[in-house]
Amino acid sequence: MQQASRRRTAFGAAELGKEPDACGTLVGQASYPHSGRMPAPQEMDKAMKLYYITLSSSEEARKVSRALLEEQLAVCTNWFPINSVYRWEGKIVEQTEIVLIVKTQDGYREELHRAIGEQIDYTNTIAEISVESINQDFLEWLDAEVPAVPQKKRPEKFIPVLTDEG
């Protein structure tokens, strides 16, 4: 019987006989190395976001992906073709489009819109999707590659300021 080989994933966790996909996710992985389970949403330090983006071609998806990765606005992207039927200027249109999925930190919406707009010049879908939970190894990889956007601190309590003028 052949012995399972030890491989190191993109996250640094040694796994027996598991192959990471293009973004480092272990194919067939049933548990998560740190705790043996996926963390609950309240256990996550910060929110990860996915963006569902429609484009006209694989070449556009490649250009947008590389721009986002070079600017450290994303940790990984995936794209694939889809068939779309939609209304445009009063007509029903059917065509093939490309869906680009972007994996990133919370807080990069405006920067993503800017970077995508620098690559294309037409109306497309850029939909933000909140992630309820994510495996810890992926979150660690995301944190290592894409800086977290500092969250604005809210005041502890609103206290109105009264003046003699009003």
For 45-83, write each residue's pLDDT tens digit: 468 999 999 999 999 999 999 999 999 999 999 999 999
Nearest to 79 by CA among 89, 65, 67: 65
The alpha-helical segments, DSSP class H, found in the chain are 58-70, 109-117, 136-145
Q: Which two tokens stand for residue 45?
A: 């330090």
Q: Which residue has the higher pLDDT, 95 or 2?
A: 95
Q: Are 105 and 147 in contact (CB under 8 A)?
A: yes
What Cα–Cα distance (Å) separates residue 152 from each residue in 9, 74, 107, 112, 155?
34, 21, 10, 19, 10
pTM above 0.95, yes or no: no
